[in-house]
Amino acid sequence: MSIKIEEVKSTTHAQRVAPHSHVKGLGLNNDGSAILPISNGLVGQDKAREAAGIAVSLIKSKKLSGRAILLAGAPGTGKTALAMAVSQELGPKVPFCPMVGSEVYSSEVKKTEVLMENFRRSIGLRIKENKEVYEGEVTELTPEETENPHGGYGKTISGIIIGLKTTKGTRTLKLDPSIYESVQKEKVSVGDVIYIEANSGAVKRVGRSDAYATEHDLEAEEYVPLPKGEVHKKKEIVQDVTLHDLDVANAKPQGGSDIMSMMGQMLKQKRTEITDKLRKEINKIVNKYIDQGIAELVPGVLFIDEVHMLDIECFTFLNRALESTIAPIVIFATNRGYSKIRGTDVNSPHGIPLDLLDRLMIIRTLPYSTQDITHILNIRSNVEGIDISTEANHYLADVGTRTSLRYAVQLLTPAKILAKTNGKTTITREEVEEIESLFLDAKASAKLLREQSEKYLK
């Protein structure tokens, strides 16, 4: 068996990053110390940032695979923000797969299957192949149109003519109409340097040709030299995929080929079945590629937020999976202290079994000072385009110190809406006070429940 790699599409997981969009990295000096009071969107929390920085260097030097890190701290102390910063530091070539513990409880898929899939999303493979390509600067790009053969209105594309120039000369290629789509997807225009894979027809835009470098572009462009050699040649092509991408590309659509299951597939938008057998086979081939030097393993990060939501079955799976030769680095986050391991009657630190705890490096996040909270509120109001008076910000920071940073950050948007209703463009203390009286924070709510417990159903 050989595995398909050409058609592999990247299947990035939808990320819940909106509340952390201001986080651009860990904000560390070259010596690894945290830049204070703010850098890369991160405020304070210096010890945890420095520890995370060390973890990032270990991950980059591949000295951490099969190990795990636990971010532990009270709600709203920046655990998720830190994990996002780690992902930024690792850059786009290292897989980073975020998930929340509760995601494993789905009615359709087994818990361990959810974990396995995310494990494989977190393991990258850099594949280097010599491929036959056509490469050059685009000198011509003309779609060929014909009248619609079915007699309808409009025209259909029957082919595309592409002129490619290198230092050696120019060639004009007449290509299949299917290539027109990839040309459009890559937004190719005359003056770009591109290559077309001869076998798959995949088109890749390398950059803008040097010759056009005097143009005043609004966007930052990458300028590349005119390719050397012939237009038609062999070229080393580097492709970054994850094991999960390979699983998906090689899985067969579920079900038989009878009408009912075909209908089912159409309705359900093609669910594919990835079996253990397929994964084993893919691993075997991946290992062969690695031995042959064609591919290189890039262990990435699986981030499991709210890890206390996992149960003993999941923890057992994780322990075993981390033993495997192909394993990512797992980063957990939890706000639980000593608590019950789900699915058991056993208490354990952070609700995590001891044998897994044994593998962990623990990074603690500490509560913020009022000043830190003021900074963070400023950053978030900027990102969300919210105007807030200095007095209101300080008042809200006090609220945050008493309750939690998250609660304070969450009050920003409703306060803005209230300000608007009051005909103001800036949030003042008045709005913050009113909003605070309308919504309870977790602690206040818990207190109320305790005090008035007899009034609630049990």
Give the interface with ligand ADP as residue ranges (CB under 6 A).
19-20, 23, 41-45, 73, 75-81, 365, 376, 379, 405-406, 409
Omega before 37 within 30 of 0, i.e. cis: yes
Angle of helix 390-402 relative to helix 429-438, nearest 10 degrees, comes to 30
CB of 304 to ligand ADP, least distance (A): 12
Q: DSSP of 108-176, one letter per residue?
A: SS-HHHHHHHHHHHTEEEEEEEEEEEEEEEEEEEEEEEEE-TTS-SSEEEEEEEEEEEETTEEEEEEE-
Task: Check if the beta carbon of residue 313 is closer than 8 Å to that of residue 111.
Answer: yes
Nearer of residues 205 and 308 to Mg ion, judged by Cβ: 308
CB of 342 to ligand ADP, least distance (A): 19
- The Cα 331–Cα 68 span in angstroms is 6
CB of 74 to ligand ADP, least distance (A): 7
Residue keyed to tokens 């290189």: 296
Which residue number is nearest to ligand ADP in terms of Cβ?
A: 78
Residue keyed to tokens 């636990």: 70
Contact partner at residue 19 from Mg ion, ligand ADP, none, CB < 5 to 8 Å by partner kind: ligand ADP
Contact partner at residue 376 from ligand ADP, Mg ion, none, CB < 5 to 8 Å by partner kind: ligand ADP
Work out whether strand 203-209 and strand 223-224 pair parallel, antiparallel, or are unpaired.
parallel
Task: Check if the beta carbon of residue 361 is closer than 8 Å to that of residue 64.
Answer: no
- Token pair in block for residue 26: 């860990």
Contact partner at residue 77 from ligand ADP, Mg ion, none, CB < 5 to 8 Å by partner kind: ligand ADP
Contact partner at residue 295 from Mg ion, ligand ADP, none, CB < 5 to 8 Å by partner kind: none
CB of 384 to Mg ion, least distance (A): 18
Nearer of residues 155 and 443 to Mg ion, judged by Cβ: 443
Nearer of residues 66 and 75 to Mg ion, judged by Cβ: 75
Nearer of residues 32 and 143 to ligand ADP, judged by Cβ: 32
Contact partner at residue 59 from Mg ion, ligand ADP, none, CB < 5 to 8 Å by partner kind: none
CB of 80 to Mg ion, least distance (A): 3
The CA-atom distances, in angstroms, between 299 and each of 59, 128, 317, 346 are: 8, 17, 18, 33
Contact partner at residue 406 from ligand ADP, Mg ion, none, CB < 5 to 8 Å by partner kind: ligand ADP
Contact partner at residue 76 from Mg ion, ligand ADP, none, CB < 5 to 8 Å by partner kind: ligand ADP
Task: Check if the beta carbon of residue 2 is closer than 8 Å to that of residue 21.
Answer: no
Nearer of residues 162 and 331 to ligand ADP, judged by Cβ: 331
Nearer of residues 122 and 404 to Mg ion, judged by Cβ: 404
Contacts of 42 (CB under 8 A, 6+ apart): 23, 25, 26, 27, 34, 49, 78, 81, 82, 85
- The Cα 113–Cα 282 span in angstroms is 17
Nearer of residues 80 and 401 to ligand ADP, judged by Cβ: 80
Nearer of residues 246 and 399 to ligand ADP, judged by Cβ: 399
The CA-atom distances, in angstroms, between 354 and each of 350, 359, 401 are: 10, 9, 33
Nearer of residues 80 and 393 to Mg ion, judged by Cβ: 80
- The Cα 232–Cα 237 span in angstroms is 14
CB of 81 to ligand ADP, least distance (A): 4
CB atoms within 10 A of CB 273: 10
**Tally of residues, the chain:** 458
- Among candidate residues 160, 168, 173, 161, the one with its CA nearest the CA of residue 133: 173
Contact partner at residue 322 from ligand ADP, Mg ion, none, CB < 5 to 8 Å by partner kind: none
CB of 363 to ligand ADP, least distance (A): 11
CB of 84 to Mg ion, least distance (A): 10
Stretch 39-78: interaction string toward Mg ion, x if CB under 5 A:
----------------------------------------
- The Cα 282–Cα 288 span in angstroms is 10
Q: Which of 45, 65, 77, 80 binds Mg ion (CB under 5 A)?
A: 80
Nearer of residues 80 and 118 to Mg ion, judged by Cβ: 80
Contact partner at residue 75 from Mg ion, ligand ADP, none, CB < 5 to 8 Å by partner kind: ligand ADP
Q: DSSP of 64-79, one letter per residue?
A: -TT-EEEEE-STTSSH
- The Cα 137–Cα 206 span in angstroms is 10
Interacting residue ranges for Mg ion, rule: CB under 5 A? 79-80
